[in-house]
Copies of this chain bind each other. A is one copy, B any other.
C-alpha cells in the first residue's frame, strides 16, 4: 500500500484529548499497512493568540518576525502529536516546514510554495516512522528566512506534500463531515456531497465556502491528487474531491453541486469614468500597485449622451481603505466623478459542472432570488459558476431560495455537523 497524507486542523488538535484521538487515528492508518505522513495546524486558537501577543508589542509588526512568531504554533502541536503516537508504541518524527523541504518565495505572511524537497520525510518513512509535518510554513529559497503561507494554508501544505511524495490520497480532517450543498448553518436541509470535481471545488472555495483553502484545491487540480475531506470526530466517509482526467467529463452528474456564499467582500463603484481607451486600465493599475486582489468586476455600458461609464468591483473588505485611498489619489488624473464604497454586500454563487450544457440554469437562479425578494446588484459567471452580489442582509434568504429551487434539499432527517460549534 502507498503513502497516505493526513491533515488535521486546529479544532482536531485543540487539546490533549484531541491530540490523543488524532494519534490513535494515525496509528490505525499505519496499522492498516499505509505509510503515513501527517500535516498539523496549530492547536485551537493558538495562532490568533500569538497574533494578539504581537499586537500588544507592536501594532504593525515586521512580517519576517510575525512569521517567526506564528510558526511556533505548529511546532507545539506537531511535537505533541509525535509524543502521543510514541505513547501508542509507534515511532513518529516531527519536522518543521523548513525541515520538511517546503521551499517558498520570500513574501512573508502569504508566501507561495516554489518547491517541495521532502528528503527527510522520505528518510523517516523508509525507517518505518510516521512523519509529522508543520502546516502553514516554509523557508524562503532566497533569504533562508521562515515564511508562512497565509491563513488556512495547512491544507495547501498537505496537498503539495502529497503530490511531492506521490501519495495515493490526501485526507483533510476538520470538525465537519465533508462538503455540503450549502452552509448547514443557513440551510437546514443541506446535504453532504459524496464527491465533487476539483473544478467545482475550486469555484466553491473561490466563492466563499470555507471548507478547503483555495490554493489547496488549485494544487490538487494541477497535480491530479485525490482529496478526501472528512471529520476527525467520526469514522464516516466524507467528500471526495476527484480530479477530472484531462479531456474527460463525467457522463452523468447532478447539474448543480451546491450554493456558496461569502460575506467578506466590499463593493467599490467608480462613478462617471470618461469612456476612453485606457481609463479603466489606469484604475486597475492603481489598485494593482497597492496589491489589492479584485474579485468581480463589472463595467456598465456607457451612456452615449454623456460619454461616461461606471465601473464596479468587489474586493476583500480588509483591503477597502487602502483601495479607496489609492483611487482617490488618481481622481483628478483620470477625471471620474466620485467613489462609492459599500461593505454591506454579500455574494451568492451557484456551482455545478453541468451548468454549461443546461441553458435554463441562470434564469431559474434569478427567478428563485426574485421570488424571495432578493435584489441582484452585480452578476459574474464562469463555465461552472454564477455569482451575484446582493445586500448582505439578504444572503441567507437567497441561499435558501436557490438551494430549494435546484432540488438540493435533503429528504433525510439527520443532524448535520458544520463548524462554529467549537468542536
* A residues adjacent to B (C-beta < 8 A): 16, 19-20, 50, 53-54, 56-59, 61-62, 64-66, 68-69, 71-73, 75-76, 78-80, 82-84, 86-87, 92-94, 99, 120, 144
Contacts and interface: CB of A to CB of B under 8 A. Distances in A.
A145 to B, nearest CB: 8
Contacts of A59: 87
A53 B68 contact: no
Contact of A75 (B62, B75, B79, B83): B75
Given A58-B87, A62-B82, A86-B62, A72 B69 contact: no
Nearest to A53: B80
Nearest to A59: B87
Contact of A83 (B66, B92, B94, B144): B66
A78 B57 CA distance: 12
Question: How many copies of this chain?
Answer: 2
Given A53-B76, A94-B65, A84 B99 contact: no
A64 B144 CA distance: 23
Given A16-B57, A20-B57, A57-B20, A79 B86 contact: no
18 contacts: A16-B57, A19-B57, A20-B57, A50-B76, A53-B76, A57-B87, A58-B83, A58-B84, A61-B86, A62-B92, A64-B93, A65-B79, A65-B92, A68-B94, A69-B76, A69-B79, A72-B75, A99-B144
Given A87-B58, A99-B144, A65 B82 contact: yes
Nearest to A99: B144
A80 to B, nearest CB: 5
A295 to B, nearest CB: 32
Contacts of A64: 93
A72 B134 CA distance: 12
A80 B52 CA distance: 11
Contacts of A53: 16, 76, 80
Contact of A62 (B19, B73, B83, B144): B83
A68 B75 contact: yes
Contacts of A58: 83-84, 86-87
**8 closest Cβ pairs, A-B complex:** A69-B79, A16-B56, A72-B72, A68-B79, A58-B87, A61-B83, A58-B83, A72-B75
Contacts of A16: 53, 56-57
A290 to B, nearest CB: 22
Given A66-B79, A72-B72, A72-B79, 6 more contacts: A54-B80, A57-B87, A65-B80, A71-B75, A72-B73, A72-B75
A53 to B, nearest CB: 6
A84 B69 CA distance: 13
A79 B61 CA distance: 9
B83 A57 contact: yes
A75 B146 CA distance: 11
Contacts of A82: 62, 65, 68
A80 B84 CA distance: 30
B57 A68 contact: no
Nearest to A67: B79
Contacts of A87: 57-59
Contacts of A78: 68
A209 to B, nearest CB: 32
B66 A72 contact: no
Contacts of A76: 50, 53, 69, 72
A64 B80 CA distance: 11
Contacts of A86: 58, 61-62, 65
A375 to B, nearest CB: 46
A120 to B, nearest CB: 8
Nearest to A76: B72
Contacts of A80: 53-54, 57, 65, 69
Contacts of A19: 57
A79 B82 CA distance: 25
Contacts of A99: 144
A46 to B, nearest CB: 10
